[in-house]
Chains A and B, each alone.
Chain A
């Protein structure tokens, strides 16, 4: 491979290389790292974030940003716990993704009707959504100690957590939609060159609304899993998760300018962030350095993939 080829390979697969390096290092440093149990735990713990990052990938490829998914997560957690407590636990779990979908569609319309950048629109809607969650929960925790509610976050099928199954199915479905369907093509074209997409007869507003709807759906689904796992709904749930999801997408190598990216990259990004956390835990390292280390690794990954790549 030529030097140029090596460089491109590094840029393309920076996140995978970092994962391999980190896994090798952690395996050498600790016996308990490279066990099926530990790896499965990492996946399970990060399933909600991975679901949200998968959908965020589509938003970012289409040239947008969704800063409201953390607030939608809170709305999902509060309303699923509320419905579970007052109506039916199954319905509560079922309604969280539906509510998320509805809020995502509201985001989409706010952006396309007002014709404002999604960054601004979703800052505003995130305050509104979380505000509603606070009002709805009266600012209190909503505990739901019912087996009919907690099975989703804690149960296993075939030795693997249900949450991991859901994450896998969701990510595969989105990946399929993005790479194998006409919808995916349109998503790429909107982020790659919006004007060319419009002149190609693509209804770009619909595509944008669809990506935000999916991001909302994902946040609702993730919140159902999380609320079920801790048997609790609260309005402060998901705080900062929108930034983690965006960081994971960018860390994976999806272009922040839109038009380029893949769902697997975001999963890799989530996994890399999770490995750093896990490393701190199993090595008993000083947690004061956790944010610092995470930041440095994100900077390194972005640096590698940006190195001369953009014209």
Chain B
């Protein structure tokens, strides 16, 4: 079972369950799925109306269809990848009940989740993985939330040293965001970044880190909240206007969002700045080449060819080009989303150094990373993010990866039990029924 449901929304429950397993006679469908489903439901204890159309059903019911689908194929092992991420509290309870039924029938259920409470509530044994490496497997009764968190941390891998932190050059706040909210999953983000300051955003997968960044620069429309740059309100945000005001974002996915792989390096570098660099509208190659060479030299991009085919560069060198692209016009505020994801150690070190140098030069920097150690190593201050809101401000010097992670899980559990907060924390379901709530206990 996949995290995202893989059903055909226009078809009925029964048709979905037996998709690909239809009985036929000379190529003509027997249309006996409803009867077969009745039999299956009697034996498994799930109750659903075979004739309902999938699109009309709530997510929890759709999850059941996925389970029935596995049963129809007589699955002995059922893997559920984050099945609760769009379920309400009651629905999670129902799902857990179903999982126990499956277990009692002698089937194996593998439950992949980052909701520790769910894991502790329903599983018999638990395996902890970190960075694709097996950490340990043991009976769930031996585990607590704390023991799982520390297992997920493990010993830090051989980490390249981070550049020394230079105290911010000034005191004035450059970027001031308050109570930002939108339909993409941002539900109250408030933060400030000062001149020459590096500020981190830390959150679990799916906590809305990138969505907050997109809302700030205007890539997604915001519903509520304000953004101020240099003390002046900045409404009607668009990516183009943000870039004009010196507010830029280096996106997390360089292939999909960052670089135009069909264009040469120099065309990628100048793409966001065309109107400012070439005021007449004519491309002047000399100007473009010198800009590109300068940045490629600074980042030590290899091959150092401004006319190079960027799609043939290594991940690290692509990332340097992507970073360089946004520095070409000396922005005042830079948001870095996963600045070193999927790059080699050398490129990572160079990128970290560039971040530190940029801040030392007075640029305000907001850095987002799924690697907690990276944020702690780079940032002067950091915010913890849970379900699209900033929940705590921390001092990286006073924290370790372990204390941050347990704080994150503490916030997750707190908003789970607090009905007021929990009701606002609906996760995206893909069906447009955004009132569904992620509450687990």
Task: Report A's interface with B, CB cutoff 8 A.
Answer: 180-186, 188-189, 191-193, 195-203, 255, 259-260
- Minimal beta-carbon separation of B438 from chain A (angstroms): 28
Q: Which of A188, A195, A199 contacts B262 (CB 8 A)?
A: A188
Q: Is B109 positioned at the interface, with any CB of A under 8 Å from its CB?
A: no
In the complex, the answer to whether B271 meets A185 with C-beta atoms within 8 Å is yes
In the complex, the answer to whether B240 meets A196 with C-beta atoms within 8 Å is no
Q: How far is the CA of A200 from the CA of B258 in the complex (A)?
A: 8
- Minimal beta-carbon separation of A272 from chain B (angstroms): 24
Given contacts A181-B281, A182-B275, A182-B283, contact A193 B240 (CB under 8 A): no
In the complex, the answer to whether A188 meets B240 with C-beta atoms within 8 Å is no
In the complex, the answer to whether B249 meets A199 with C-beta atoms within 8 Å is yes
Q: B271 contacts which chain A residues (CB < 8 A)?
A: 185, 189, 196-197, 200, 202
Q: B267 contacts which chain A residues (CB < 8 A)?
A: 185, 188-189
Q: How far is the CA of A197 from the CA of B257 in the complex (A)?
A: 8
Q: Which of B240, B244, B263 contacts A192 (CB 8 A)?
A: B263
Task: With A193-B259, A203-B240 given, name 20 new contacts (CB 8 A).
Answer: A180-B283, A181-B283, A182-B274, A182-B278, A184-B283, A185-B283, A188-B260, A189-B263, A192-B263, A193-B262, A196-B257, A196-B259, A198-B219, A198-B239, A199-B251, A199-B258, A200-B272, A201-B239, A201-B272, A202-B272
Complex A-B, nearest 8 residue pairs according to Cβ-Cβ distance, in ascending order: A201-B240, A259-B262, A192-B262, A192-B260, A182-B274, A200-B272, A193-B260, A201-B243
- Minimal beta-carbon separation of A165 from chain B (angstroms): 24
Q: Is B133 positioned at the interface, with any CB of A under 8 Å from its CB?
A: no
When C-beta atoms are compared, the residue in chain A nearest to B253 turns out to be: A195
Give B244-270 interface residues, CB cut-off 8 Å to A: 244, 249, 251, 256-263, 267, 270
Q: Is B242 positioned at the interface, with any CB of A under 8 Å from its CB?
A: yes
- Minimal beta-carbon separation of B256 from chain A (angstroms): 6
When C-beta atoms are compared, the residue in chain B nearest to A176 turns out to be: B282
Q: Is B314 positioned at the interface, with any CB of A under 8 Å from its CB?
A: no
Q: How far is the CA of A183 from the CA of B282 in the complex (A)?
A: 9
- Minimal beta-carbon separation of A225 from chain B (angstroms): 29
Q: How far is the CA of A183 from the CA of B275 in the complex (A)?
A: 10
Q: List 5 A-B contacts (CB under 8 A).
A: A182-B275, A182-B282, A193-B260, A196-B257, A197-B260
Q: How many residues belonging to B are interface residues under a CB distance threshold of 8 Å? A: 29
- Minimal beta-carbon separation of A203 from chain B (angstroms): 7
In the complex, the answer to whether A192 meets B261 with C-beta atoms within 8 Å is yes
In the complex, the answer to whether A201 meets B260 with C-beta atoms within 8 Å is no
Q: How far is the CA of A86 from the CA of B133 in the complex (A)?
A: 81
Q: Which of B239, B261, B270, B281 contacts A199 (CB 8 A)?
A: B239
Q: How far is the CA of A191 from the CA of B260 in the complex (A)?
A: 9
Q: Is B238 positioned at the interface, with any CB of A under 8 Å from its CB?
A: yes
- Minimal beta-carbon separation of A185 from chain B (angstroms): 6
In the complex, the answer to whether B272 meets A260 with C-beta atoms within 8 Å is no
- Minimal beta-carbon separation of B267 from chain A (angstroms): 6
Q: Which of B242, B257, B261, B281 contacts A182 (CB 8 A)?
A: B281
Q: How far is the CA of A110 from the CA of B174 in the complex (A)?
A: 41
Chain A binding surface, main DSSP class: helix
- Minimal beta-carbon separation of B121 from chain A (angstroms): 39
In the complex, the answer to whether B239 meets A200 with C-beta atoms within 8 Å is yes
Q: B325 contacts which chain A residues (CB < 8 A)?
A: 200
Q: B282 contacts which chain A residues (CB < 8 A)?
A: 180-182
Q: B260 contacts which chain A residues (CB < 8 A)?
A: 188-189, 192-193, 196-197, 259
When C-beta atoms are compared, the residue in chain B nearest to A61 turns out to be: B262
In the complex, the answer to whether A260 meets B262 with C-beta atoms within 8 Å is yes
Q: A197 contacts which chain B residues (CB < 8 A)?
A: 260, 271
When C-beta atoms are compared, the residue in chain A nearest to B326 turns out to be: A200
Q: A255 contacts which chain B residues (CB < 8 A)?
A: 262
In the complex, the answer to whether A259 meets B272 with C-beta atoms within 8 Å is no
Q: B242 contacts which chain A residues (CB < 8 A)?
A: 201
- Minimal beta-carbon separation of A260 from chain B (angstroms): 5
Q: How far is the CA of A184 from the CA of B283 in the complex (A)?
A: 9
Q: Which of A184, A195, A260 contacts B257 (CB 8 A)?
A: A195
Binary per-residue interface labels of chain B (135-154) against chain A in the complex, 1 for a CB within 8 Å, 0 otherwise: 00000000000000000000
When C-beta atoms are compared, the residue in chain B nearest to A188 turns out to be: B263
Q: How far is the CA of A134 from the CA of B262 in the complex (A)?
A: 42
Q: How far is the CA of A196 from the CA of B257 in the complex (A)?
A: 4
- Minimal beta-carbon separation of B174 from chain A (angstroms): 20
When C-beta atoms are compared, the residue in chain A nearest to B243 turns out to be: A201
Q: A195 contacts which chain B residues (CB < 8 A)?
A: 256-257
Q: How far is the CA of A260 from the CA of B267 in the complex (A)?
A: 13
Q: How far is the CA of A180 from the CA of B283 in the complex (A)?
A: 5
Q: A260 contacts which chain B residues (CB < 8 A)?
A: 262
- Minimal beta-carbon separation of B161 from chain A (angstroms): 32
Give B205-252 interface residues, CB cut-off 8 Å to A: 219, 238-244, 249, 251
When C-beta atoms are compared, the residue in chain B nearest to A184 turns out to be: B283
When C-beta atoms are compared, the residue in chain A nearest to B248 turns out to be: A201
Q: How far is the CA of A189 from the CA of B263 in the complex (A)?
A: 8
Q: B239 contacts which chain A residues (CB < 8 A)?
A: 198-201
Q: How far is the CA of A189 from the CA of B273 in the complex (A)?
A: 13
When C-beta atoms are compared, the residue in chain A nearest to B275 turns out to be: A182
Q: How far is the CA of A184 from the CA of B278 in the complex (A)?
A: 13
Q: How far is the CA of A216 from the CA of B257 in the complex (A)?
A: 31
When C-beta atoms are compared, the residue in chain B nearest to A189 turns out to be: B260
Q: How far is the CA of A188 from the CA of B263 in the complex (A)?
A: 8
Q: How far is the CA of A202 from the CA of B274 in the complex (A)?
A: 9
Q: B219 contacts which chain A residues (CB < 8 A)?
A: 198-199
Q: Which of B239, B251, B256, B260 has the most CB of A within 10 A?
A: B260
Q: Which of B258, B274, B283 contacts A196 (CB 8 A)?
A: B258
When C-beta atoms are compared, the residue in chain B nearest to A179 turns out to be: B283
Q: B256 contacts which chain A residues (CB < 8 A)?
A: 193, 195-196
- Minimal beta-carbon separation of A122 from chain B (angstroms): 23
When C-beta atoms are compared, the residue in chain B nearest to A260 turns out to be: B262
In the complex, the answer to whether B261 meets A193 with C-beta atoms within 8 Å is yes
Given contacts A195-B257, A200-B271, contact A183 B281 (CB under 8 A): yes
When C-beta atoms are compared, the residue in chain A nearest to B284 turns out to be: A180
Q: Which of A181, A184, A202 contacts B240 (CB 8 A)?
A: A202
- Minimal beta-carbon separation of B248 from chain A (angstroms): 9
- Minimal beta-carbon separation of B217 from chain A (angstroms): 8
- Minimal beta-carbon separation of B100 from chain A (angstroms): 43
